[in-house]
Amino acid sequence: MKKKFKMPSAFTILFAIIIVVAVLTHIIPAGNYEYTAEETPIPGTYHTVDPTPQGIPEVIMSPINGFQGAIDVALFVIIIGGFLGVVMKTGAIDAGIARVVHNLKGRERFMIPILMILFGLGGTSYGMAEETIAFYPLIIPVFIAAGYDSITAVAVIMLGAGVGVLGSTVNPFATGIASGFANVSLGQGIGLRFLILVACEAVAIIYVMKYAKKVKKDPSKSIVYDQFEDNKKHFLAQEDENDFPELTGKRKGILALFSATFIFMIYSVIPFEDIGVSLPSLGWWFGELAALFMVSSIIIGLVGGMKEEELVGSFVEGARDLLGVALIIGLSRGITVVMNAGNMTDTVLSLGEHTLSGLSSVAFTILTYLFYIPMSFLIPSTSGLATLSMPIMAPLGDFAGISRDIVITAYQSASGIVNLLTPTSAVVMGGLAIARVSYDKWLKFAWKLVAILMVVVMIALGLGAMI
């Protein structure tokens, strides 16, 4: 029997790219641009320089040097992991969503927009993804008992959070990392990203509600109708709300602190003077943001009644969960290190400058979005893709007359749309497995919505490019 092909991990793919890039430094001519004080390449100033091909020692050292150059971003990610570890340990988020589900029993049609908005807020703020897995056993039985099907429940959770990630406003693992490597403020472009979030979440809610209404009226219209009776027996026998913590006053306070942390983060990164708003700009960057989440972790742990050992343990455990992301950032940055050392980066930019010379800003933006869709399949790690591509793609936007935040928005929207469907995602396949929905049936349900969302995003990006 032939072995099925298994996609290599992001680490393997990225290290292979480092090797390929090192080989290319022996082939591609070396060159440099002149740069402004803001590190923007000046069009028309590209010139060739002596070649500096990269060998085995440089390849081996590139991830180490890359990690050193990205230490602020990597540390921020690790501390965010610790922050989320403390918050999740208190049970506040689980309790909050469980309370919403309980209170809306008998009015399940209202659960669709409310829960999708809640999951969307998690997605847009902190990249809520793996955390959604815990809610499938709670939400699926509620929807099935109300006369809907398992796909409706999956869509509420997976699309709610997934579209939130697609429309990331301040998601540190997509927008934050990309902004860092594009050398722009995290708050720059937040208006367009918020527009995409609202528009796409609204489209997704309407799509799911329309399907749910059809299934409740006529169960034979369900894509999983052949499992209808079997799913009733399976899921209605295992519903247990007692698995979720109670929403106490203490947990309500923690949810308020959690929300306040992200709200203050948004305020701290918005350059108000650039948008004509008479508010003081803090101009915070990754160092200050990391400190904010560290302090907030301590406050939330104390409010949650954690002892010192439990608080520190939860923080370290959460940080450990995101250590892989931090390592991917260093490895991805190693690609840029090799390109820069080989004086190849500006040669690629020069090629891009000449290719883009005849393109309008809208055409460049749409092509950037379409470019990131296959790239997101190849490199499913959002942080890895941002670290790999932004040092090249953001300056290309300069040549096309496009603000770098538009490039970031194109990247995160493409990555988000792919992660609604990709079979390489543990979140997608795990959620479908719990709901007993086959992957082909999920594709049958979701492909039209994904096509609509792509159109909505491209229209929004086009408008953003014209403004």
21-60 tens-digit pLDDT: 999 999 999 999 888 877 778 888 889 999 999 999 999 9
| Predicted local distance difference test score (pLDDT) of residue 224 | 93
Q: d(Cα 295, Cα 292) in Å, to the nearest integer?
A: 5
| Predicted local distance difference test score (pLDDT) of residue 103 | 84
| Predicted local distance difference test score (pLDDT) of residue 306 | 93
269 token code pair: 């990164």
Q: What is the three-class DSSP state of 345?
A: helix
Q: d(Cα 216, Cα 218) in Å, to the nearest integer?
A: 6
Q: What is the three-class DSSP state of 41?
A: strand
| Predicted local distance difference test score (pLDDT) of residue 4 | 65
**Please, which residues have CB within 8 angstroms of residue 156's CB and are 6 or more apart in sequence?**
111, 112, 115, 116, 119, 139, 143, 208
66 token code pair: 């890359």
| Predicted local distance difference test score (pLDDT) of residue 383 | 86
Query: Which letter does DSSP use for residue 241 in this model?
Result: G
Give one DSSP letter per residue of 80-95, joined into a string.
HHHHHHHHHHHTHHHH
Q: d(Cα 18, Cα 62) in Å, to the nearest integer?
A: 8
> How many Å from the N-terminal Cα to the C-terminal Cα in the chain?
57
| Predicted local distance difference test score (pLDDT) of residue 405 | 94
Closest by CA position to 163, among listed 114, 210, 129, 213: 129
| Positions in the chain whose pLDDT score sits under 70 | 1-7, 237-243, 274-276, 357
- For residue 146, report the phi and psi dihedrals to the nearest 5 degrees: -85, 0
pTM score, whole prediction: 0.84
Q: d(Cα 109, Cα 213) in Å, to the nearest integer?
A: 8
368 token code pair: 């950037």
| Predicted local distance difference test score (pLDDT) of residue 240 | 56
Q: d(Cα 336, Cα 345) in Å, to the nearest integer?
A: 8
Q: d(Cα 62, Cα 27) in Å, to the nearest integer?
A: 19
